[in-house]
Amino acid sequence: MRKYKNVGLLTGGGDCPGLNAVIRSVVKTGLGYGMRMWGIKNGFGGLVENQISELKQCSISGILHRGGTILGTTNRDNPFSYPVLRGDEVLYEDRSHQAIQNLAEKNIEALIIIGGDGSLHIADDFRVKHSLPVVTIPKTIDNDLPETERTFGFDTAVSIATEALDRLHTTAESHHRVMILEVMGRYAGWIALHAGIAGGADCILIPEIPFRIEGILNKIRDRKKQGKLFSIIVVAEGAFPVGGQMTVARVVEGSTEKIRLGGIGNKLVDIIEEEGKLETRCTVLGHLQRGGSPTAYDRVLATRYGVAAVNALANGDIGCMVALKHNNIVCVPIEKVVGDPYNIPLNNELIKVGRSIGVSFGE
């Protein structure tokens, strides 16, 4: 079994609560194995630009509770399609060989990559095209990665969205309004579903169940008949009407996630006010879901993932992602993870729970 003496660590994609907890765990565990640990700044861009420095015990002191990542991150720089300025034109070139050379200069033999779907794709490319030993850790507030029951950052995002719903309830009730909370999640509705149930939403709109405006209005009217003069709607950014499409906020060239969703909440405001003659307001939670200190659950899960990733590397389990299954940490091959997002199954228990307590999914 190969013993890795120098191991690199990077965070790719969007930031999320718990990244520093993972970094701390990886470094502490690696140092315990006698490894030299190297931090790569600013995601895969730092790998290409040789922004690599050694991480020691003092590097990770006091970071467990901090949001963000001390290493920095980006969801733009893919070494296999790297933006290079040629005159006045930006071209995209394969700079992965430069990344491998930078690792070789520091004698870094393996990488631990913390990221979501885009980062895992890049990690798999390094594994396949350059035979680089990699172990990955699932990170996304969206909880949309297959082969794992939970990604760290999700619990914190749900907690933030739930608190927002608690606050919206009071102003909605005071003004007799329909209040809409738009949350993140990309093409999956996990945040909306969990926060909607926890926050007592009347309607939960998710990508997995295309909605009908009449279904939403019927729920609001039914509440009015019961003397409830306000309604709370949680909508995932990827939700869309029957026969319609997701709302795209913008397209970011050069990003591992080019399509940026957003804006469905404000669209619903216009439709509900016009067709339902109801005063409606929208709050877009946005990046608040990705910032701040992680919850206790995310700190513990992130720490478990970090230890498991280093153990996997030490045991020769390379080319894998550490994952949570039945509350146990396991390793799954990266190629089983990359691909389509993990959407909510229509027979999911929480959907059944929501329907049982009278939540409308806009059907």
Residues 59 and 93 in one domain: yes
Place of tokens 């307001």: 281
CATH code where residue 322 lies: 3.40.50.450
Residues 209/363, Cβ–Cβ less than 8 Å: yes
pLDDT tens digits for the chain (363 residues)?
679 999 999 999 888 999 999 999 999 999 999 999 999 999 999 999 999 999 999 999 999 999 999 999 988 889 999 989 888 888 899 999 999 999 999 999 999 999 998 899 999 999 999 999 999 999 999 999 999 999 999 999 999 999 999 999 999 988 889 999 999 998 999 999 999 999 999 999 999 999 999 999 999 999 999 999 999 999 999 999 999 998 887 887 766 677 888 899 999 999 999 988 888 999 999 889 888 999 999 999 999 999 999 999 999 999 999 999 999 999 999 999 988 789 999 999 999 999 999 999 999
Residues 32 and 77 in one domain: yes
With CA atoms as reference, report the closest residue to 117 among 81, 172, 75, 67: 75
Residues 114 and 171 in one domain: no
Residue 358 has a pLDDT of: 96
Structural domain for 35, as ranges? 6-152+292-336
Residues 15 and 26 in one domain: yes
Place of tokens 């949570």: 324
Could you say which of 142, 144, 155, 202 is catalytic? 142
CA angle 313–318–324, rounded 5-degree value: 80
Tally of domains in the chain: 2
Residue 251 has a pLDDT of: 80
CA angle 150–155–157, rounded 5-degree value: 120
Residue 341 has a pLDDT of: 85
Confirm whether 108 is domain-assigned: yes
Confirm whether 361 is domain-assigned: no
Residues 234 and 184 in one domain: yes
Q: Strand ranges (DSSP E) for 103-230?
A: 110-115, 134-138, 178-183, 203-205
* Residue 42 to residue 99: CA distance in whole angstroms: 13
Residue 79 has a pLDDT of: 95
* Residue 162 to residue 186: CA distance in whole angstroms: 18
Q: Provide CB contacts within 8 A for 82, sequence distance 6+.
A: 48, 92, 93, 94, 95
Q: How many residues does the chain have?
A: 363
3-state SS, residue 333: strand
Residues 191 and 265 in one domain: yes
Identify whether 340 is a catalytic site residue.
no
Confirm whether 362 is domain-assigned: no
Residue 298 belongs to what H/E stretch?
Answer: helix 296-314
Confirm whether 45 is domain-assigned: yes
Residues 315 and 265 in one domain: no
Residues 19 and 143 in one domain: yes
Confirm whether 85 is domain-assigned: yes
Confirm whether 363 is domain-assigned: no
**How many angstroms separate the most distant Cα atoms in the chain?**
71
Confirm whether 67 is domain-assigned: yes
Residues 201 and 280 in one domain: yes
Q: Strands 110-115 and 6-11: what pairing?
A: parallel
Residues 191 and 260 in one domain: yes
Q: What is the pTM of this model?
A: 0.93
Residues 229/175, Cβ–Cβ less than 8 Å: no
DSSP annotation of 81 reads B
In sequence order, what DSSP letters do the residues of 341-361 get, joined into one string?
--PPPTT-HHHHHHHHTT-B-
DSSP annotation of 211 reads B
Residue 145 has a pLDDT of: 94
Phi, psi of 265 (to 5 degrees): -60, -50
Confirm whether 53 is domain-assigned: yes
Residues 273 and 317 in one domain: no
Whether the CA torsion 26, 144, 293, 115 is positive or negative: it is: positive
Residues 252 and 280 in one domain: yes
In sequence order, what DSSP letters do the residues of 263-294 get, joined into one string?
-HHHHHHHHHHHHH---EEEEE-GGGGG-SPP
Residue 90 has a pLDDT of: 86
Residue 255 has a pLDDT of: 67
